[in-house]
Amino acid sequence: MSTRSESFAGLSVAMVTPFRNGEVDFDALGRLVDSQVKAGTTCLCPVGTTGESPTVSHEEHERIIAAVVEAAAGRIKVMPGTGSNSTSEALRLTRFAARAGADAALVVAPYYNKPTQQGMYEHYRALAEAVDIPICVYNIPGRTGKNIEPETIIRMAELPNITMVKEATGSMDQASQILGATDLTVLSGDDSLTLPLLAMGGRGVISVVGNIVPGDVAAMLRAFEAGDLADARRWHHKLFPLCRDMLSLATNPIPIKAAMKLLGRDTGELRLPMTPLTAEQEARLGETLAAYGLL
C-alpha cells in the first residue's frame, strides 16, 4: 500500500512532558527519547495532548521541540504538536518546528472557537503553504468541540503538504470515507482502535500506551504488516485491557504519567488543572499494570 507519508507508517509515540518541581525536566526528556530509539519506535510526537501542551508556555513549547529534535539526532523521526486555535500562533509554532529540524508537524484542529468547515480548511491551508515539512491533521472532536468533516479533510488532501491524519474521532465510518477517497497516511489516535483502523487501510498509530509498552504496540503493527492476522489479534487482545483500564481512569495524560511513575520512568508530576489520580485510582492502576505483567 502506498500512501502519502509512508515513512511515518508504524509506531509514533505521543510523548509525555516530564516535569520536576514545576519545571520541564529536559534531562529526563532526553532519556525518554533514547528509550524510544532503543525500542525501535518510528516517530516521536512531543508537546501534543499527552505532552500537556495546553499548560506549557510558548517558550517552553519551542524549547521542548528543539530538545527532542536535538536528542533524536536523526535516529528517529520527530513530529511535534504545533496546533492552536489561533492560526497566527499555529503558524509561529509550525514555522519554528520546521526551522528546528522537525520531520513533520502534528496540528490539532482549532479548539474552543469552533470554526466553520471553511475556516478549518483555510487554517490548514495557511500552514501547508507556509512550511515545507509535512502536516498531520489531528482530528479529535472530543477535545476540540468540533469535528473536521471527512469532506473537508478530502478537500485538504488536494494540498501537497497535507499528508497525514491522526484519526481520533472514534468513527470508523469517517475513517473509511477518508481512506477510500484519498492517499493520506491515516494514523490511529485511539490505541484501542488501531487494529480495526489498520484493517481499513490505516498505516499506524500515534500511541499513548507506547510510552510504556512500545515494543508490544510495534509487535502488533509488524504482525499485521506481515499478514499474520492471528498474531496481530493476539497482541490487540493483550493490549486492549491495558488501554481500557488505564486510560479510562482519568483524562489523558493523568493515567499514563501515573503509570510511568509506578514504573520508575517519570515523576508523575502534572500541571494544573490536571491533578493526580486518587489513592483508589492509583491502586486500580497498579492492579492493571500487574495484570499486564509490568509490575
| Grid coordinates of 269 | 508530576
The confidence score (pLDDT) of residue 82 equals 98
Rounded to the nearest 10 degrees, the angle between the axes of helix 58-72 and helix 87-100 is 30
What domains can you pick out in the chain, each with its CATH number? 6-228 (3.20.20.70)
- Backbone dihedral angles phi then psi of residue 134, each to the nearest 5 degrees: -65, 150
| Grid coordinates of 291 | 495484570
Active site residue 166: yes
Which of 192, 186, 229 has the alpha carbon at shortest distance from 207? Answer: 192
What is the torsional sign of CA 4, 164, 33, 193?
Answer: negative
Active site residue 238: no
Which of 258, 252, 254, 251 has the alpha carbon at shortest distance from 285? Answer: 258
Average pLDDT over the chain, rounded to an integer: 98
b vs e for 267-280, b when ≥16 Cβ sit within 10 Å of the residue's Cβ? ebbbeeebeebeee
The answer, as to whether pTM is greater than 0.85, is: yes
Provide DSSP, 138-152. Answer: EE-HHHHSS---HHH
First to last CA, the chain: 38
Tell me the C-alpha distance between 7 and 21, whole Å: 37
Judge whether 76 and 33 are in contact, CB under 8 Å. Answer: yes
Q: Is 248 exposed, middle or buried (0-12, 13-18, 19+ CB in 10 A)?
A: exposed
| Active-site hit among 146, 166, 257, 292 | 166
**253-274 pLDDT per residue, tens:** 999 999 999 999 999 999 999 9
**205-261 pLDDT per residue, tens:** 999 999 999 999 999 999 999 999 999 999 999 999 999 999 999 999 999 999 999
Q: Which residues of the chain have pLDDT under 70?
A: 1
Please tell me the number of Cα atoms within 13 Å of 223 on its side-chain side. 17
| Active-site hit among 138, 146, 257, 292 | 138
Give residues with Cβ within 8 angstroms of 172, minimum separation 6: 193, 196, 197, 200
Q: Is residue 73 left, alpha or beta, with left meaning phi > 0 and alpha meaning psi from -120 to 50? A: left
The confidence score (pLDDT) of residue 183 equals 98
Q: Which DSSP letter does residue 19 get?
A: E
The confidence score (pLDDT) of residue 170 equals 96
Helix (H, G, I), strand (E, B) or coil at 107: strand
The confidence score (pLDDT) of residue 194 equals 98
Tell me the C-alpha distance between 141 and 111, whole Å: 8
b vs e for 147-175, b when ≥16 Cβ sit within 10 Å of the residue's Cβ? bbbbebbebbbeeebbbbbbbbbeeeebb
The confidence score (pLDDT) of residue 1 equals 65
The confidence score (pLDDT) of residue 190 equals 98
